[in-house]
Amino acid sequence: MIYYSERTKAVVNRLLQAVVLVYQAVAVVVFISTLTMAGEWLRTPFIGGFFEHTLVLNGSDTSEDDKSWAMYKQGFKVGDQLISVDGTPIVNSDQLSGILNSYSVNDIVNVVIRTTEGVDETAAISLQEFSTADRTAYFILPELLSLIFLIVSLWIFGLRRAEPAGRAFSIFTTSLAIVVGGLFDLYTSHQFTYIWTFALGTAGGSFIDLALGFPQEARVVVGRPYIRWIGYVVGLVLFLNAVGTLFNFDNPTAYITAWQVIYGFVGLSAIFYFGMLFYHALVSRSPVVKNQARTILIGSLIAFGPVVFWLLVARQSFNPYLLPFLIIFPLVNGYVVLRFRLLRTDYWVRQGLVYALLTVFVITAYGLFVSGVALFLPMPSDNPYLIGGLVFVIAIFLEPLRTRLQKFVDGTFFRGQRVYEDRIRTFSHQLTTALDLDSIGRVLRQQITTTLSPDRLHVFTYDPLNDQYTALAGEDGRPTSDIRFASTSPLVQYFQKEKIPLYLDSINPPSILKGDEARLSLLGARLFVGLRSDDKPVGWLALGAPLSGDAYTPKDLDFLESISDQSSVAISRVQTVANLERRVQEMNALSRVSQGVNVTLRFDDVLELIFAQTAQIIPSTYFHISLYNKDANYFYYGFRVDDNERMVSLENRPLPSGTGLGQEIIHKGRPIITQDYPRECQSRNTTPSSQGIYAWMGVPLNSGAETIGALGVGSRDATVTYTRAQLDLL
């Protein structure tokens, strides 16, 4: 196992990003060039078959029903090689296009074809225009798919280029864009045959890269990132093996074997990828990983199911119109890689099953209805009155029927889901009566504890006064944890960037949480579900492992996300009201200070007023007003309160030089804020004025351009921190 320095990781990261970006640039060039060359080729009369780079017939035929291209009508088959056209020997595709450009549609040309048995046969071929249906099937559809794959690749790379999974997926979709978009060039112009072969092998390598890194990094890869690159090395070796066969006219079909080896590698890589997805979907301890794996598997079933059915069950040759289904696979993968939100796969399966049954029922009802009517009143099945009557009946009974089918499906196949939905409805009702954070926390804890039974549960919410996230009180009325997270901590940044829950893997925790590893280890929670809001999270739920010893399921995750969404709204509402009340209190305090200064004559009364109003809006146990006697050149306390008790005996007495941070503020005329008072004093080479102070802040007291003193507050409570907003208020 190798652990690299942060600098090395950053350099490798930038290098890999550059490699992927160059690969994407190549794909863009291939796409644009293919469009240009295809436009020229389509203006050329069609010879009646696709000849590959060694001029062998590749077996592709027209997409029109009950028709065949001219070469196949003459009895030629896959592997037969074009030798000459009208007596002119053909050595490459450019020469073939040049000769065909000298002819017009419906002209007759004599071609010599060398069959796979080595016999040269001559045939008269009538040149035709490449049909609209074939243009759509072999050119328009693949190029449209290639464009979509390119857009998805650039989109994912732009958002997730710093992550291995994002780069692997970008390589995969870029390879798909080249392979699919380069098919027409592979059949016609053969300018990008080498790049197409390389992209095919790279697609297999990216499957292995994805399998080892997403949706969860394999343990074997931890500390060994180079293992993810093994697939690319194999793909490169297979590409180099194929290079010598691609334009070998002495053995024109040798490349087929080399390509078949690459096809086999891609197939095995895909099996490995889907096998890892099945493994994660079945045995992963993380409900997030399970949900992501199942989402990809369902998307893959929709994408590849029609193709597999067509080839294996229907036993038909490949149809280009099956290609659009493949769009679903990279789109679903891209959505999961971007981690916008977890898809509720159970919900979509339930709805799909209901509407499938509803479709079968409506079709069956229509057939029975038409058959029954025909017994008494003969009429065609497309009679408008008959169709109108059926539409009227469907409009009346569709919703009641759908509701009954939904209950039947839920009761038969998804009984557990109904329990969760009942709990969510109960929670929504209870939440309407929760008017403060503690009551919201109690409702949350009650529902989560009774439903999931975690061994520990913390509800963290944002404390705007201290600019940090703290745990709400438990059943004993005390916070469930003393651990606090600053608003800039890595965990908070995670929930600001990501929209999905976080499951901590003790083997390989996310690198983004490196700064919070100690806190998270002490907290002992495994599953974190964010309480989201518009600008920053209002908090999160932190759950330990279930008491049953089982792993959390995607259904548990759906339940937690549903109640967290509702809780976020309630907590945001309570915090908004609390912030408004606090601001009103601050404005009232400032107003009273302003009024008191204008009407109070005694200096000591002014200082008492300032202390009383400051204590109401800023939590503190320490309050000092340090003043400077310019004539006598010494500092003294004009007002001092320690532990909420005024220390009159220490006031109006000269202070030793270098005592407390107040003198530093008076010297420099700038405020100071710190969460570690002793360390701040040590760094400034001053003696602390009091012991046991944690958070401290002070501001200068200015008279015109001159600083005459300093006002400082501090706290002996280690949980109190001061913010920049409080400093501005002071």
pLDDT in tens, 643-662: 878 888 888 888 888 888 88
Give the model's pLDDT for residue 240: 92
Judge whether residue 80 has pLDDT over 80.
Answer: yes
C-alpha to C-alpha distance for 330 and 262, rounded to whole angstroms: 21
279 in the same domain as 139 = yes
Across 113-134, b (16+ Cβ under 10 Å) vs e yields bbeeeeeeeebebebeebeeeb
The mean-pLDDT minimum among 46-60, 506-520, 633-647 falls in: 506-520
37 lies in some domain? no
Last residue of a domain, one of 128, 150, 180: 128
The mean-pLDDT minimum among 151-160, 239-248, 420-429 falls in: 420-429
**Strand order through the sheet with 457-463:** 485-486, 468-471, 457-463, 539-543, 527-531, 502-503
Give the model's pLDDT for residue 295: 81
**pTM assigned to the model:** 0.66
Q: Which residues are bridge partners to 84 per DSSP?
A: 89, 112
Q: Which residue has the higher pLDDT, 390 or 507?
A: 390
Give the model's pLDDT for residue 610: 79
Give the model's pLDDT for residue 342: 46
174 in the same domain as 74 = no
- Confidence tier at 29 by pLDDT (50, 70, 90): very high
Output the six-digit token pair for 67. 């028709």
The mean-pLDDT minimum among 74-78, 471-475, 589-593 falls in: 589-593
Give, for 133, the enclosing helix (H) or strand (E). helix 132-135
- Confidence tier at 236 by pLDDT (50, 70, 90): very high
Judge whether residue 278 has pLDDT over 60.
Answer: yes
What average pLDDT score do residues 314-331 get? Answer: 69
Last residue of a domain, one of 340, 367, 387: 340
What pLDDT digit, counting tens, does each position of 93-129 carry?
Answer: 888 888 888 888 888 888 888 888 888 888 888 888 8
Give the model's pLDDT for residue 130: 86
Give the model's pLDDT for residue 687: 85
| Residue 638 φ/ψ, nearest 5 degrees | -80, -25
Residue with tokens 């401290």: 696
Last residue of a domain, one of 107, 128, 149: 128
Judge whether residue 243 has pLDDT over 60.
Answer: yes
Mean pLDDT of the chain: 80
What average pLDDT score do residues 625-653 get? Answer: 84
385 in the same domain as 289 = no
- Confidence tier at 385 by pLDDT (50, 70, 90): low
Q: Which residue has the higher pLDDT, 234 or 137?
A: 234
Q: Are 209 and 168 in contact (CB under 8 A)?
A: yes
Domain carrying residue 431: 418-578
Considering the chain, what percentage of its residues have pLDDT values greater than 70? 85
- Confidence tier at 253 by pLDDT (50, 70, 90): confident
What average pLDDT score do residues 657-682 get? Answer: 86
93 lies in some domain? yes
Judge whether residue 666 has pLDDT over 50.
Answer: yes
The mean-pLDDT minimum among 153-167, 352-366, 475-489 falls in: 352-366
542 lies in some domain? yes
End-to-end Cα, the chain, rounded Å: 53
Query: How many domains is the chain built from?
Result: 5
Judge whether residue 314 has pLDDT over 90.
Answer: no
635 in the same domain as 540 = no
CATH code, domain carrying 554:
3.30.450.40
